[in-house]
Amino acid sequence: MTFSRRNFVGLSAALAGVAAVSGRVQAASIPEAVTTTSPAMQPPVMPQGGQSYQPVVTLNGWTLPWRMNGDWKEFHLVAEPVEREMAPGMVARLWGYNGQSPGPTIECVEGDKVRIFVTNKLPEHTTVHWHGLIVPNGMDGVGGLTQPQIKPGQTFVYEFVLKQSGTFMYHPHADEMVQMAMGMMGSFVIHPRDPGLHRVDRDFVFLMQSYDIEPGAAMPKIMTMTDFNLWAWNSRVFPGIDPLVVRRGDRVRIRVGNLTMTNHPIHKHGEPFTLTCTDGGWVPESARRPEVTTDVPVGAMRAVEFVADELGDWAIHCHKSHHTMNAMGHEVKNFIGVNQKDLAKTIRKLVPDYMPMGEKGMAEMGEMEMPMPDNTLPMMTGFGQFGPMEMGGMFSVVKVREGLAHDDYKDPGPYKNPEGTVAYLFEGDTGPAPRAPNKKASQTPSMEFNVVKPGASHSGKH
């Protein structure tokens, strides 16, 4: 895991204006901030100090290290401008935490006493709200309502005891439209105090974002209400989203949070799953049911679980079809069935390389490498072992394999299908062409009707 440590020499002047919420922590004791800029999924952080749990793996992300100070588990978040590679060939200028957007996952255990330092290196004030957590009112992170704003250069301290377990997140409650549109958010996972409760073999987490970034640009538009053109998991889009690698027979949990402006029906191919947790808590066994698609509302967390019995490369994606595309143009016309031959001749007089597209559908865009502005992703992209996949946005693959090590999350490559188990081209006789319908036979058959006057029975008797 590639980290760099922040140099705190020279911060004494800035720390002189620090606002410490509790007053019990001196600025000089602030823990160092750890940062990383790698877009690759980092190995999970194994439990320390005798605690037992299956650590969470953040899709294309990492878990924030901590230090123990007495019986307090201390973290340090730095809110700051960042650059995030959304997929190879495109970098976005966002706001985030500790070098990335979204920020690192905070991972704890029910009952932990946590102390979280938040340093603001943004050009405006901010706060942090601990979404779904039961905390003292003054630690809830709503600027102006429960605390003063954290001004640029200041560090605030949040302290609370974790009273629950489950799947949560953190994000600002200050200038929210701007700060969350710029990518400020992170996951917060709390494991049960009882190590045998809700135990799984592999535990993944990611947040969903939506961005409006014009072709050739790198900065999101912050005033967009609904017409986003990039739909992301942990600020990555396909083919930049890592696969979820699991061992056959593993019980797998996938935790998903939604901080976009619309709901997302998350669908997994292969075996069904069950919804086991929301940001309100664990779903009772009696309320669980098998599904293959679960809807994740705006501002919500959902966790699903399944036993990985079926070998293969199984797609997992948002089932809103335009959310599995990149750099969508909302004003693109529908040219299906339109003969563009004469139009193309005319346009080529002005633009020699012009290529008419769309009259047979959009699939051809998945195969062609057309010139695009710098820092722009194709609408449909990605190749599998059988050809172009014609995907983008919120799409990844659950890769189920035999014999993986317990802590092996490396991409195993394409699945080798057993002989005779792949759909194939039929080259036999398809039989005679279908006959045209017989006009005489298709005439409307005669029908008989019995008209009954109001008040009369069918037989004429009451």
Q: What is the pLDDT of residues 191-237, one digit of tens each?
A: 999 999 999 999 999 999 999 999 899 999 999 888 899 999 999 99
Per-residue pLDDT, 215: 87
Q: Which residues of 247-284 are buried (b: 16+ CB within 10 A; e: fewer)?
A: beebebbbbbbbbbeeebebebebeebbbbbbbeebbe
Residue 342 has pLDDT above 80, yes or no: no
Residues 258 and 349 in one domain: no
Strand 273-278 to 300-307 pairing: antiparallel
CATH classification at residue 95 = 2.60.40.420
Helix ranges restricted to H, 292-360: 341-348
Per-residue pLDDT, 380: 67
Q: Is residue 16 a part of any domain in this protein?
A: no
Return mean pLDDT, the chain: 86
Residue 446 has pLDDT above 60, yes or no: no
Q: Is residue 234 a part of any domain in this protein?
A: yes
CA distance 390 to 321: 11
Residues 303 and 334 in one domain: no
Residue ending a domain, among 319, 347, 375, is: 375
Residues 229 and 82 in one domain: yes
Residue 84 has pLDDT above 60, yes or no: yes
Residue 208 pairs in a beta bridge with 233, 258
CA distance 313 to 309: 12
Q: What is the CA angle 194-310-424, rounded to 5?
A: 160
Q: Is residue 270 a part of any domain in this protein?
A: yes
Per-residue pLDDT, 360: 52
Structure tokens at 138: 């003054």
Residues 51 and 173 in one domain: yes
* Alpha carbon separation from 382 to 30, 69, 88, 311 (Å, rounded): 44, 47, 11, 22
Residues 293 and 338 in one domain: no
**Residue with more model confidence, 335 or 405:** 405
User: Which amino acid, 231?
Assistant: W
Residue 457 has pLDDT above 70, yes or no: no
Q: Note whether 53 and 111 are within 8 A (CB).
A: no
Alpha-carbon torsion 76, 77, 83, 89, what sign?
positive
> Where is 96: in which H helix or E strand?
strand 90-97
> Where is 330: in which H helix or E strand?
none
CA distance 125 to 134: 24
Count: domains in the chain? 2
Residues 264 and 359 in one domain: no
- Tell me the pTM: 0.82
Q: Is residue 98 a part of any domain in this protein?
A: yes
- Range with lowest mean pLDDT among 262-266, 289-293, 397-401, 438-442: 438-442
Residues 287 and 348 in one domain: no
Residue ending a domain, among 255, 276, 307, is: 307
* Alpha carbon separation from 343 to 332, 340, 362 (Å, rounded): 17, 5, 19
Per-residue pLDDT, 200: 97
Strand order in the sheet with 244-247: 244-247, 395-401, 312-318, 264-268, 293-296
CA distance 143 to 440: 77
Q: Is residue 191 a part of any domain in this protein?
A: yes
Residues 281 and 347 in one domain: no
Give the other-Cβ count within 10 Å of 230's Cβ. Answer: 25
User: Which amino acid, 424?
Assistant: Y
CA distance 247 to 200: 12
Q: Is residue 242 a part of any domain in this protein?
A: yes
Q: Is residue 149 a part of any domain in this protein?
A: yes
Residue 382 has pLDDT above 60, yes or no: yes
- Range with lowest mean pLDDT among 102-116, 149-163, 246-260, 421-435: 421-435
Q: Is residue 24 a part of any domain in this protein?
A: no
Residues 124 and 165 in one domain: yes
Residue 10 has pLDDT above 60, yes or no: no
What are the pLDDT digits (tens) for 291-326? 999 999 999 999 999 999 999 999 999 999 889 888
Per-residue pLDDT, 19: 40
Residues 190 and 114 in one domain: yes
Give the other-Cβ count within 10 Å of 382's Cβ. Answer: 19
Q: Note whether 312 and 415 are within 8 A (CB).
A: yes
Confidence of residue 389 (pLDDT cuts 50, 70, 90): confident
CA distance 63 to 45: 7
Q: Which residues of 422-461 are buried (b: 16+ CB within 10 A; e: fewer)?
A: eeeeeeeeeeeeeeeeeeeeeeeeeeeeeeeeeeeeeeee
Say what percent of the chain tops pLDDT 70: 80
Q: Is 387 exposed, middle or buried (0-12, 13-18, 19+ CB in 10 A)?
A: exposed
Strand 72-87 to 155-161 pairing: unpaired
Residues 278 and 354 in one domain: no
Residues 176 and 263 in one domain: yes
Structural domain boundaries enclosing 348 = 330-375
Average pLDDT (265-289) is 97
User: Which amino acid, 218?
Assistant: A
